[in-house]
Structure 1
């Protein structure tokens, strides 16, 4: 429970402070075994602190007021589908990329490419070195299962490095546990990270551990992320490298955090074991060792909204078309996972299966298949790149469907099914509001930079 946000909202609406203090003290005692007197003192302190910050609204320092005022879109994260890997989420990520682009800093791959990893080139004696970084957050529904959360988020960030054609060399961890969380969660989460670290011989080298919201958030929610760093001596295999005439290959995927969550919250507990593997990194490592990565045009992990989302993003970024064969794609979903998804009426093309998708020139396709197969990872051809400009699915009966990302990824828990994945009627209006908030943020950034340059 965010007690600061609770108080701020109630005070803004003009609620009586004494009544608010009593309500908040009762809420605090739901989480903490303290006396009524102590809980009232805590409530009074929170109310006093929030009241003090609200006085900023009356400051005569207009520039400070400008900085602390959020350029609101008046559109909530959930309503826009942020984090749900669909059309709304993709739109917001493009606005984040717009803010990054406004800095005019240079990189080889930045958020504008809509890849999960970014790349910078560092001059070095001999060949230049390309450094790839990526970061992923723990799946929100794995807060109660820290080991699984740590394990799968580590694999996720390593995948993002691998698909840029880089060899992972380091792992970073950032861990936030709410005030009432048991310390054991820290260790369990870290052990999950280190299981992957040890399996692939990439060290966990640094990190940070803090409380969620400090004293202002009660409960035991775990919010965290893992980052990774990779290096290579050749340009990245970003999505933008897909070329007409290329062959599309894909490895078998058993999913990660999303599939684990689906299994846990729908009672398919045995499927959790299918997800506990390092097949993706094994396949990528085999391609590095065989010196094939430099000839691959594009690599991606099937995560963001499933194949629907990734295919859409590739076509949006490159302008090419993608033709997929449905019968072949189904063979790349681990059998137990596919059975679970079909039982639960979840679209396998709309969820993260964590397969490795490779876009390669025809002349190296056989070598790639052999190299990956030799390390025990199933891989097959699932389609080709053409000039149609859109992603299309050739079904078993010969009919053709255009792959369009849903507003949210395929619903894989009961609560997600209730929320739904249909596009809101006011989506275009929402996008306009989000666009304005992004533009306002850029303008604020520029005002602050001008102030610092002129006063220092």
Structure 2
């Protein structure tokens, strides 16, 4: 429970200073909430409640300051659209739109990189300033992923899968992973053992692929202001390569699309745990993806591959749409060939639960390469015991589409949210809101105002002396 957020919300709804009676009532309500989490007596809970209310009210006094720039600095350029309303984090059309707005803010800095968030790719890439000769070129890839929110109660699995996800994002850019970093935030009442369990999950992946964990950070979620035991965390990875990144924008018409067998990661694990398919959890515990990408590095094939991506955000529907949007090219997939590349246990679970296999993360490696190179890629990946198959081709139609099992053609478009894989997600649904265009306009305005604010602060800092 976010007790600071609780008080801010109550004060905002009052829209005025509290009188003594209102303040005492609010103290009592908050004290009762605190006692639900803390093993303290009522008097101490009241003291905590008073402190929180006093701190929040003090911060609100800034609104009466004569310093207009300070008030602007701390004010949020609101979109008046909530995260859940927009589908942020749900790997669908709303989420993709917001990520493009984040990319616009990043692009406004005018800092240069080979691959940045504008490409909506898996990782970012910069060219090392060391050396100028072709044989000395070094490309540095970075990526960061957050733990699946529903795995907070299963820290080891959360750590294992977020580490794999971060490393995958480095691998698909054609880089060889060289380091892992970890950031853990555990709420005030969380058992310290959660920190160790999460770290052990990350360390398991580190040991399996011999890539060291080199740095990290450990903090409480919201400090004293958040009660409970929620764990949120992220793992970052760094990789290096002597060849330009295999970014989505390098795909060309005539290329062949290959897909490795996928058994899922955090999303499939969550689906299994919360729907009673516990045996499927073991299907996800592997490093096949990293073995496959490392084989391409070993066999010096990365330089010949045009593009690679992991089938995660929004499933293959989302990836196909993003590749087509980025390149302007079309992609044609064969549904039956794709289904064969989902492990039988995972596919059976998804079909039993009526979950679209093309709309969720199955953690396959998708490779786009010229036809002659595709044969070498297949041989290389199969040599490390990973299954791979051709699932489609790239063309100039500009439309991502799939040939279904009945021979009909379906245009691949991301849903508003990725395919619902838990009961609560099915209740929320994936239907695009009727006012989606209005929502996008409000989000766009908030992003624009954030850029203006950034520019103003940069100008102030550069010229204050």
State the TM bucket, normalised to the shorter chain: over 0.9
Matched, 1:122 2:131: no
For 1:215 and 1:167, how far apart are their aligned partners in 2? 40
Residue 124 of structure 1 deviates from its aligned partner by: 2.3
> Which residue of 1 is the match for residue 70 of structure 2?
64
For 1:115 and 1:410, how far apart are their aligned partners in 2? 21
Matched, 1:295 2:301: no
Query: How many equivalent pairs are there?
Result: 456
Counterpart pick for 1:205 among 204, 209, 214: 214
TM-score (normalizing by structure 1): 0.99
Q: Secondary structure at the match of 2:163?
A: helix
For 2:224 and 2:319, how far apart are their aligned partners in 1? 40
> Which residue of 1 is the match for residue 283 of structure 2?
274
Matched, 1:94 2:103: no
Residue 123 of structure 1 deviates from its aligned partner by: 2.5
> Which residue of 1 is the match for residue 325 of structure 2?
316
List, as ranges, runs of 4+ consecutive aligned residues in structure 1 with deviation greater than 2 Å.
Answer: 123-126
> Which residue of 1 is the match for residue 343 of structure 2?
334
For 2:233 and 2:436, how far apart are their aligned partners in 1? 30
For 2:462 and 2:130, how far apart are their aligned partners in 1? 32
Counterpart pick for 1:55 among 52, 56, 61: 61
For 2:13 and 2:357, how far apart are their aligned partners in 1? 45
TM-score (normalizing by structure 2): 0.98
Residue 312 of structure 1 deviates from its aligned partner by: 0.2
User: Which deviations, in whole Å up to 9, do the C-alpha atoms of 1:7-38 show, x marking residues without a partner?
Assistant: 01111222621100000000000000001100
> Structure 1: which 5+ residue stretches go unaligned?
none
Residue 437 of structure 1 deviates from its aligned partner by: 0.1
Q: Secondary structure at the match of 2:211?
A: coil
> Which residue of 1 is the match for residue 9 of structure 2?
9
Residue 194 of structure 1 deviates from its aligned partner by: 0.2
Matched, 1:165 2:174: yes
For 2:344 and 2:114, how far apart are their aligned partners in 1? 38
> Structure 2: which 5+ residue stretches go unaligned?
none
For 2:122 and 2:247, how far apart are their aligned partners in 1? 10
Matched, 1:397 2:413: no
For 1:8 and 1:89, how far apart are their aligned partners in 2? 27
Counterpart contact for 1:11–1:17, Cα < 8 Å: no
Residue 116 of structure 1 deviates from its aligned partner by: 2.1
> Which residue of 1 is the match for residue 200 of structure 2?
191
For 1:311 and 1:337, how far apart are their aligned partners in 2? 21
> Which residue of 2 is the match for residue 418 of structure 1?
427
Q: Secondary structure at the match of 1:277?
A: coil
Counterpart contact for 1:109–1:118, Cα < 8 Å: yes
> Which residue of 2 is the match for residue 85 of structure 1?
91
Counterpart contact for 2:122–2:172, Cα < 8 Å: no
For 1:226 and 1:146, how far apart are their aligned partners in 2? 13
Residue 390 of structure 1 deviates from its aligned partner by: 1.2
User: Which deviations, in whole Å up to 9, do the C-alpha atoms of 1:257-289 show, x marking residues without a partner?
Assistant: 000000000000000000000000000010100
Superposed CA RMSD in Å reads 0.6
> Which residue of 2 is the match for residue 379 of structure 1?
388
For 1:298 and 1:364, how far apart are their aligned partners in 2? 12
Q: Secondary structure at the match of 2:278?
A: coil
For 1:266 and 1:431, how far apart are their aligned partners in 2? 33
For 2:461 and 2:308, how far apart are their aligned partners in 1? 41
Counterpart contact for 1:315–1:322, Cα < 8 Å: yes
> Which residue of 2 is the match for residue 24 of structure 1?
30
Counterpart contact for 1:176–1:211, Cα < 8 Å: yes
Q: Secondary structure at the match of 1:310?
A: helix
Matched, 1:132 2:161: no
**Further displaced range: 161-170 or 10-19:** 10-19
